[in-house]
A and B are shown apart, each in its own frame.
Chain A
Amino acid sequence: MRRFSGTNTGELITRYARDGGTTVLSTTGRTINRQANAAGRALILFLDAMRAVREVAGSTRQLLRQIEHSGFGSLLVLSLIAGLTGMIMAVQIGFTLSSYGVADQLGGLIAITFCRELGPIWAAVIVLARVGAAMAAELGTMTVNEEVDALRMMSIDPVRYLVMPRIVGLIVVMPVLALVANAVGILGGLAVASGQFEQTSATYFQGIQNHLTTGDVVSGLVKSCVFGAIIGTIACDRGLTTSDGAEGVGRSTTMSVVFNVIFVLIADLIMTWFIQVPLKVVTG
């Protein structure tokens, strides 16, 4: 740690501002440079994995394993969270809508929120925390145990054998999980609507029918596919670049979760701004 010695307090403050400021700037610069490199490397990994998709027939077993592991394993937690969120939303919004005398719009509001945003985001959060972290840890362990080197030495491309099935698996599974989250969230809202606001299911679903469009559902599913690609790519990249043994595996796992949260939200903002909103304007 840098030490600042001197007798004059003013001099000390000046020196700290100068040297400390330089340190902060250089550290920030190095971090930005490192993360830009990592982003470029992850993009190349994704493109390589997409090129390997033509050999997907030879990786059916790994692909099915990934789909099973990522999809079925996440269903229970996701359903619980989506259901609870739907109920909380219904409670929060229901009272406000009732005060304006438009409580029959509750179903539509909840359905739009889930299909456009909450379903894909909740699916992404659960998958990146549960599956993405596990992927980074698994590939990280394989890397430090030289299993990835062993694959290369057997002329087996690790991108084709390890990365492609994981990314494709998540791209396939994520829309399904988002649909499940949408359905369970809407049903959670219905439970509160009928219990707290004495709304019939017919009124609730009529509200959904009046407001929800195919565009809302499709754009949400497209989002979830993109989230799947991001989560798979970042998790695999972090795993395959692991070093320093067990400590490195832990670091890769943590960084995979952190970067996935950041990039999923950035991608969500971009897609909402540049795709979902214009699509809504065009399709009405």
Chain B
Amino acid sequence: MTDRPGSRTALAQVLPERTWTKDEIEAAAPLAPLPAGIQPVIAIRDLHKGFGSRKILRGIDLDVLRGETLCILGGSGSGKTTLIRHLMGMLKADVGTIQVAPAPAVAGMPSTEAGFELGAANEEQLATWRRRLGVVFQGAALLGSLTVLENVGLPLVEVDHRPANEIYERVVEALRRVYLPAQEILHLKPASLSGGMRKRVGIARAIIQRPEIILYDEPTTGLDPVTVSGVNELTLDLQKKLGITSIVITHDLEAAFTIADRIAMLYRGRIIAIGPTEEFRHSPNPAVQQLLTGSTRGPLTEAYLQGTSES
């Protein structure tokens, strides 16, 4: 029997044996050199963001590779949501850049679009970038006044202006892909669905325009274990079958170790550890180890206590 990823037994041999200074714990993990000829689909360099006197992101360096599933872990207030909102093009960095690569060639046609810097993007580039993204929001963010059919088909109606029969077929296909009984729920409003079903409908809406990248914002939060496994399988399935690049913001360690190719940890606005799952599991950084063991003693809790007393 293998130990659960991140369990105390599994981590006993990698717990830090020496005292780390605050600067050592918060030091940003160096960017891993990319294999020759590989261009990251998203390259974040020295990203800083603050709101008033509060510094949320303090120099993020991160590459996202095409086709990978990258999980970003971090405690509350570590800057995960701020980072994902930058990737969505909803926030502009105070300092730093987010360079996005051109869209890949489709069906033998070469890509004509050039890459660009997200912070300096014009409306047209931003719209193009958002067309390449699917976002699964934490609470699914389905429109309460619309049925499942209307919610999932919304971008096809409002943006692509597709005919009704094509929309119907694509919605049914998307719902089937997320293992939902399309015919039974098509005409229901989101309020009639369970939390897990709403999340799946949210994923169906995210994939309906066949995006190149999906951003998941805490996709398994508040779901029962069976539904969590279902959502994890779905994420893996979309990566394998459709070759989708996934960026997953999560608190769920089991989910991260199940679906991720690489895991990064965000701590006080910096990426303090990043690497393939096994490498990440054995990171000696006390903040990573505290997150993995779930201990109440360590730099994460101290930072939290310090933050609350300041506020």
Query: When chains A and B are docked, how far (Å) is the Cα of A150 from the Cα of B139?
Result: 11
Instruction: Give the segment of B125-133, B170-178, B257-265 that binds chain A.
Output: B125-133
The reply to whether B127 and A149 contact each other, CB–CB distance below 8 Å, is no
Collect the chain B residues with CB atoms within 8 Å of residue A150's CB: 135, 137, 141-143, 205
Collect the chain A residues with CB atoms within 8 Å of residue B131's CB: 155
Residues of B in contact (CB 8 Å), total 20
Q: Find residues 137-173 in chain A having any chain B CB closer than 8 Å to their own CB.
A: 141-142, 145-147, 149-156, 161
In the complex, the chain A residue whose C-beta lies closest to that of B133 is A153
Once A149-B88, A149-B90 are accepted as A-B contacts, the answer to whether A154 and B155 lie under 8 Å apart by CB is: yes
Collect the chain B residues with CB atoms within 8 Å of residue A142's CB: 143-144
Once A149-B90, A150-B135 are accepted as A-B contacts, the answer to whether A156 and B141 lie under 8 Å apart by CB is: no
Residues of A in contact (CB 8 Å), total 15
Collect the chain B residues with CB atoms within 8 Å of residue A161's CB: 158
In the complex, the chain A residue whose C-beta lies closest to that of B85 is A149
The reply to whether B159 and A156 contact each other, CB–CB distance below 8 Å, is yes
Interface residue? B138 (CB, 8 A):
yes
Chain B contact residues: over half helix, strand or loop, or mixed?
loop
Collect the chain B residues with CB atoms within 8 Å of residue A154's CB: 130, 154-155, 158-159, 205, 209
What is the 8 Å Cβ interface bit string for chain A, positions 43-76, against chain B (1 contact, 0 not)?
0000000000000001000000000000000000
Once A155-B127, A155-B130, A155-B131 are accepted as A-B contacts, the answer to whether A149 and B155 lie under 8 Å apart by CB is: no
Collect the chain B residues with CB atoms within 8 Å of residue A145's CB: 139, 141
Collect the chain A residues with CB atoms within 8 Å of residue B135's CB: 149-150, 153
In the complex, the chain B residue whose C-beta lies closest to that of A160 is B158
In the complex, the chain B residue whose C-beta lies closest to that of A153 is B135
Collect the chain A residues with CB atoms within 8 Å of residue B139's CB: 145-146
Query: When chains A and B are docked, how far (Å) is the Cα of A151 from the Cα of B145?
Result: 14
Tell me how far the C-beta of B270 lies from the nearest C-beta in chain A, rounded to whole angstroms. Answer: 25
Query: When chains A and B are docked, how far (Å) is the Cα of A156 from the Cα of B131?
Result: 11
Collect the chain B residues with CB atoms within 8 Å of residue A156's CB: 154-155, 158-159
In the complex, the chain B residue whose C-beta lies closest to that of A162 is B143
What is the 8 Å Cβ interface bit string for chain B, positions 198-230, against chain A (1 contact, 0 not)?
000000010001000000000000000000000
Collect the chain A residues with CB atoms within 8 Å of residue B158's CB: 58, 154, 156, 161
Collect the chain A residues with CB atoms within 8 Å of residue B137's CB: 146, 149-150
What is the 8 Å Cβ interface bit string for chain A, positions 230-270, against chain B (1 contact, 0 not)?
00000000000000000000000000000000000000000
Collect the chain A residues with CB atoms within 8 Å of residue B209's CB: 154
Chain A contact residues: over half helix, strand or loop, or mixed?
helix
Q: Find residues 106-139 in chain B having any chain A CB closer than 8 Å to their own CB.
A: 127, 130-131, 133, 135, 137-139
In the complex, the chain A residue whose C-beta lies closest to that of B155 is A154
Once A153-B88, A153-B133 are accepted as A-B contacts, the answer to whether A146 and B141 lie under 8 Å apart by CB is: yes
The reply to whether B154 and A147 contact each other, CB–CB distance below 8 Å, is no
Contact of A146 among B130, B138, B144 (CB under 8 A): B138
The reply to whether A155 and B88 contact each other, CB–CB distance below 8 Å, is no
Q: Find residues 243-291 in chain B having any chain A CB closer than 8 Å to their own CB.
A: none
Tell me how far the C-beta of A242 lies from the nearest C-beta in chain B, rounded to whole angstroms. Answer: 15
The reply to whether B155 and A155 contact each other, CB–CB distance below 8 Å, is yes
Collect the chain B residues with CB atoms within 8 Å of residue A149's CB: 88, 90, 135, 137, 141
Tell me how far the C-beta of A56 lies from the nearest C-beta in chain B, rounded to whole angstroms. Answer: 14
Tell me how far the C-beta of A171 lies from the nearest C-beta in chain B, rounded to whole angstroms. Answer: 21
Tell me how far the C-beta of B57 lies from the nearest C-beta in chain A, rounded to whole angstroms. Answer: 19
Query: When chains A and B are docked, how far (Å) is the Cα of A58 from the Cα of B154?
Result: 13
Collect the chain A residues with CB atoms within 8 Å of residue B143's CB: 142, 147, 150-151
Tell me how far the C-beta of B237 lies from the nearest C-beta in chain A, rounded to whole angstroms. Answer: 22
Interface centre among A151, A152, A154 (most CB of B within 10 A): A154
Tell me how far the C-beta of B87 lies from the nearest C-beta in chain A, rounded to whole angstroms. Answer: 11
In the complex, the chain B residue whose C-beta lies closest to that of A150 is B141
Query: When chains A and B are docked, how far (Å) is the Cα of A151 from the Cα of B209?
Result: 13
Tell me how far the C-beta of B143 lies from the nearest C-beta in chain A, rounded to whole angstroms. Answer: 6
Tell me how far the C-beta of A244 lies from the nearest C-beta in chain B, rounded to whole angstroms. Answer: 14
Query: When chains A and B are docked, how far (Å) is the Cα of A153 from the Cα of B207?
Result: 12
The reply to whether A147 and B142 contact each other, CB–CB distance below 8 Å, is yes
Collect the chain A residues with CB atoms within 8 Å of residue B130's CB: 152-155
Tell me how far the C-beta of A116 lies from the nearest C-beta in chain B, rounded to whole angstroms. Answer: 37
Collect the chain B residues with CB atoms within 8 Å of residue A141's CB: 144
What is the 8 Å Cβ interface bit string for chain A, positions 3-37, against chain B (1 contact, 0 not)?
00000000000000000000000000000000000
Query: When chains A and B are docked, how far (Å) is the Cα of A87 from the Cα of B138?
Result: 55
Collect the chain B residues with CB atoms within 8 Å of residue A146's CB: 137-139, 141
Tell me how far the C-beta of B6 lies from the nearest C-beta in chain A, rounded to whole angstroms. Answer: 29
Collect the chain A residues with CB atoms within 8 Å of residue B159's CB: 154-156
In the complex, the chain A residue whose C-beta lies closest to that of B150 is A61
Tell me how far the C-beta of B98 lies from the nearest C-beta in chain A, rounded to whole angstroms. Answer: 16
Query: When chains A and B are docked, how far (Å) is the Cα of A147 from the Cα of B135?
Result: 11
Query: When chains A and B are docked, how far (Å) is the Cα of A58 from the Cα of B161?
Result: 10
The reply to whether B90 and A147 contact each other, CB–CB distance below 8 Å, is no
Tell me how far the C-beta of A143 lies from the nearest C-beta in chain B, rounded to whole angstroms. Answer: 11
Tell me how far the C-beta of A222 lies from the nearest C-beta in chain B, rounded to whole angstroms. Answer: 32
Query: When chains A and B are docked, how far (Å) is the Cα of A142 from the Cα of B140?
Result: 12
- Which residues of A come within 8 Å of B, CB atoms? 58, 141-142, 145-147, 149-156, 161
Q: Show 13 A/B contacts (Cβ-Cβ < 8 Å), sorted by A.
A: A141-B144, A142-B144, A146-B139, A146-B141, A147-B141, A147-B144, A149-B88, A150-B137, A151-B143, A154-B155, A155-B159, A156-B155, A156-B159
A-B residue pairs, 8 tightest by C-beta: A150-B141, A146-B141, A154-B155, A146-B137, A153-B135, A156-B158, A147-B141, A155-B127
